[in-house]
Structure 1
Amino acid sequence: MTRSDLVDLLAERFAQLTHRDAELAVKTILDALSEALESGHRVEIRGFGSFSVSHRPARIGRNPRSGEQVVVPEKRMPHFKPGKSLRLLVDQSTEGTIDAPLDAAS
């Protein structure tokens, strides 16, 4: 699902919201989430999951093409941990589909 799909779904589901209002609501929520993570805060949405910032220390990596050592700087990365109810919901919805072929067209 893309951002525009989410906006369309909200506008359809809630008749009192115009498409523009739904778009503003989605933008506001995502902006607030981004700002909180940028500030280093943790965001928890009960029943869905939590967003946090993880720290990756600096390390020595290798250039795969030349094999030369490269210094990889430290960085902060967003991290999502799904809540228990979301994990169970996804797990139940995928039961029996693991053996399905990856490319159904062939």
Structure 2
Amino acid sequence: MKGATLTRADLCEAVHEEVGLTRQDCAGLVERTLDLVAEALEKGETVKLSGFGVFQVRDKRARMGRNPKTGEPAEIEPRRVIGFRASQVMKARIDRALGG
């Protein structure tokens, strides 16, 4: 990984180096994995990756907010959002890495 952001290309390269498959096969593997996660979330399913965390779709109800330009009240439509909750293992790992 070169920068502060992990990209699909970085994931593909890491899989290529670890597993030894061709870069094309690794790219397909990473894409399929991400597709499976996305498909599950589209269906409203929870995605639990042991030792990593849980992705979950939540329904947010309509609520009143404010137009930031005018300050007038404005209704915010109901929507679905994706939440992520890191596992205790991941939290501990990050805490150790950041010197906490």
Structure 1 and Structure 2 fold alike (TM over 0.5): yes
Which residue type is aligned with residue 7 of structure 1?
C
How far 1:79 moved relative to its partner?
0.8
- The one-letter amino acid paired with 2:97 is S
Aligned-residue offset at 1:71: 1.2
C-alpha separation in 2, matches of 1:39 and 1:52? 11
Offset from partner CA, 1:47-97 (integer Å, 9 cap, x none): 11111111111011111111122111011101111111111000011116x
Paired residue total: 95
Letter in 1 for 2:39: E
Q: Distance in 1 between matches of 2:25 and 2:74?
A: 48
Residue of structure 2 equivalent to 1:37: 41
Gaps of 5+ in 2: 1-5
Do residues 57 (structure 1) and 52 (structure 2) align?
no
* Local SS of the residue matching 1:33: helix
User: Is the partner of 1:34 in helix, strand or coil?
Assistant: helix
* Identity across matched positions, percent: 36
User: Structure 2: how far apart are the matches of 1:26 and 1:70?
Assistant: 41
Q: TM-score, normalised by structure 2?
A: 0.90
Deviation sequence 1:21-63 (CA, Å, 0-9, x none): 1111111011110110110111111111111111111011111
Match of 1:104 in 2: none
Structure 1 outlier segments of 4+, above 6 Å: none
How far, CA to CA, are the matches of 1:18 and 1:92 in structure 2?
34
Amino acid corresponding to residue 10 of structure 1 in structure 2: V
Letter in 2 for 1:20: Q
| TM-align CA RMSD | 1.0
Q: Distance in 1 between matches of 2:76 and 2:49?
A: 33
- In the alignment, the residues of structure 2 paired with residue 64 and residue 49 of structure 1 have an alpha-carbon distance, to the nearest angstrom, of 34
Separation in 2, partners of 1:70, 1:26: 41
Counterpart of 1:81 in structure 2 is: 85
Q: Work out whether 1:13 is the aligned partner of 2:22.
A: no
Amino acid in the other structure paired with 1:50: V
